[in-house]
Structure 1
Amino acid sequence: MYIEGPEFSILFHSGDGMAARRAQVRRAAEAVDQLSENDVLSRSDDDLIAAIQAQLSVHVPTLRRDDISFERKMRTINRRDMWGEDVTVEVPVFYFDVPYDGEDVIFSMTPTSYSSNPPRGEARGGVLRTSVVGEEDAAKVQQELNSTLDRVEQYLASHRQMWSGLESEVANAARGQLAQRRQRLNSLGQAEAGLAGFGFKPKAT
C-alpha cells in the first residue's frame, strides 16, 4: 500500500527556490529601469518602492485543511499475493482536493531545507490534489492523508523561512537603483538645459 497515486509528480522538486529568490531581488532593479522618467523624478522613493514590493511579493501557500473534498475511484493494479504470484486486483483510490491560498509555483520549487521523501501531488489553481491508494478503512485513509499533508506543511514552512526578508531586500535594491537612475536623469536634464541655453530647441514629444 502507498499513499500517493503514481500519476502525481513529486512536489517541491523541479526548481531551485533560492535561485528564484535571488532572481526576485534582481528584478527590483529591473523594475526601477522600467519606470517612466516622470515617475522617477516626480514620485517619492517610498511610493515607488511600495509599488515594486507589491509587484515582486511572494505568497507562500497556506493549506485550508478544514475545507478538503474527496472522491473515490477504482484502479486496477498488479501486486504479489501471499504465495509470491503476480495478480491483478482492483483497489479503491481516494482523491483529495485541498484548497490553499498562495502561489502555485511554490509547490514546484525546492526550499533550502528538504527531506529525501518529498510528497507527491498536483498543485494548480489554488487546489492541491493528492490521493490514498488501496486502503478501505476510513481512519487509515485519514491517517495517510494527514501524513502527506504534514510533509507538505513542512516544506511550506521551510519556504516561508527562506522567503522571509524578501521585502526589505527588494526595497534596498530598488532604493539603490532609484538613486542611480534619478542622478543620471538629473544630469541629462542639466545637459538638455545647457543645450537649450546655446539656442537649440528641444523637439516636442
Structure 2
Amino acid sequence: MAPDNYLFNKQDWHAVESAHREALIREIDEYDSERLLNTSPSDLASYFEEKFWIEPVVLRENEIAADQREVQVDVRRDPFRDIRDRSKPFKVKGTRIEIDVPFDGEPKLFRIQPTIYTLNPPQGEVNNGILRLKLEGTNLNPEEVKVQIDRTLTTIRGYLQTLANDVGKLNRQLRFLAEKAISAIADLVGCVNEVNALIPSQTLKIKLKCDRMRDK
C-alpha cells in the first residue's frame, strides 16, 4: 500500500482541537445578534454543542468482509529477486487480499494523529463508512495473513481508543465554551443597544467593530 495511505498522520490532534474551539467561538460571534438575544441561552448552547460534537469512530468488526483476487504485484523491493533496475516497477502475478471493516463515527478521525501514537502508523483506505486494509504478495500464507491483519486491527483499535479519549475530553467542554461565548456576546450586544437607545440621532448610532462582533 502506498505511503500516502498511512492512517492517523495527516493532522495533529492539538491543532485540530484548537481549530475546533476557534470555529465554535467564531460561529457564535457571527450569529445574528437579534436572534441571539431573543433565544434561550440554554437552547443556543445545546444547538452549538450538538453541531460541534465529534462522534468517535467505532469499528463494526462483526461485519468484516474479505475479498481475494489475482493482481500484478510490484516486487522491485524484494531483496531476494534479481532485478537490475529497482527504480521502476517490476510486476509479477500475485494475490491481493482486501479486508473491509464498516465503522460508525467521524471518518476524518482516521487522518488525525492522537496524543499517543507510534512512529509506524497503520495503513488503510477510508471511504463511505468503510475502512479497507490491503495485503499483496506472490506467496501469501493464510496463517501469516491472519496474523498481520489481526496485528493491524489491534494497532488501529489502539489509535481509535486514544482518539476517543481525546475527542471525549473536547466534547465535554463544548457546552461550557458555548455558554461562555454566548454570554459574552449577549452582554456586549445588550450594552451597545442600551447606549444606542440613549442617542436620538440615527446618524450617531454606535456601530460596534471588534473581533467579537460582526460589523452591522
Could you tell me the TM-score, scaled by structure 2's length? 0.79
CA contact (8 A) 2:7 2:122 kept: yes
CA contact (8 A) 1:8 1:122 kept: no
CA shift in 2, pair 1:184/1:147, >3 Å: same
1:109-120 matches, cutoff 5 A: 109-120=112-123
Cα distance in 2 for partners of 1:88, 1:183 equals 68
Letter of the 1:141 counterpart: V
- The aligned residue for residue 43 of structure 1 is 39
Structure 2 residue 9 is the aligned partner of structure 1 residue 16: no
Q: CA RMSD in A?
A: 2.4
The two structures have a TM-score, normalised by structure 1, of 0.83
Deviates more, 1:131-140 or 1:143-152: 131-140
- The answer to whether the 8 Å contact 1:75/1:90 transfers is yes
1:159 corresponding residue in structure 2: 163
Q: Work out which of the residue numbers 46, 49, 66 in structure 2 matches 1:53.
A: 49
Once residues 172 and 61 of structure 2 are traced to their aligned partners in structure 1, the CA distance between those partners, rounded to angstroms, is 31
Counterpart CA distance in 1 for 2:114 and 2:91 is 39
The unaligned stretches of length 5 or more in structure 2 are 84-89, 204-216
Secondary structure at the aligned position of 1:164 is classed as: helix
Is residue 213 of structure 2 the alignment partner of residue 186 of structure 1? Answer: no
2:146 aligns with: 142
Where in structure 1 are there 5+ consecutive unaligned residues?
Answer: none
Following TM superposition, by how much is the alpha carbon of 1:45 offset from its aligned partner in structure 2, in angstroms?
1.7
In the aligned structure 2, how far is the partner of 1:182 from the partner of 1:6?
A: 51
| 103, 107, 118: which one aligns with 2:106 | 103
What per-residue deviation string (whole Å, max 9, x for no partner) do you get for residues 116-138 of structure 1?
22100111221111112225443
Identity %: 21
- Counterpart of 1:76 (choices 54, 73, 77) is 73
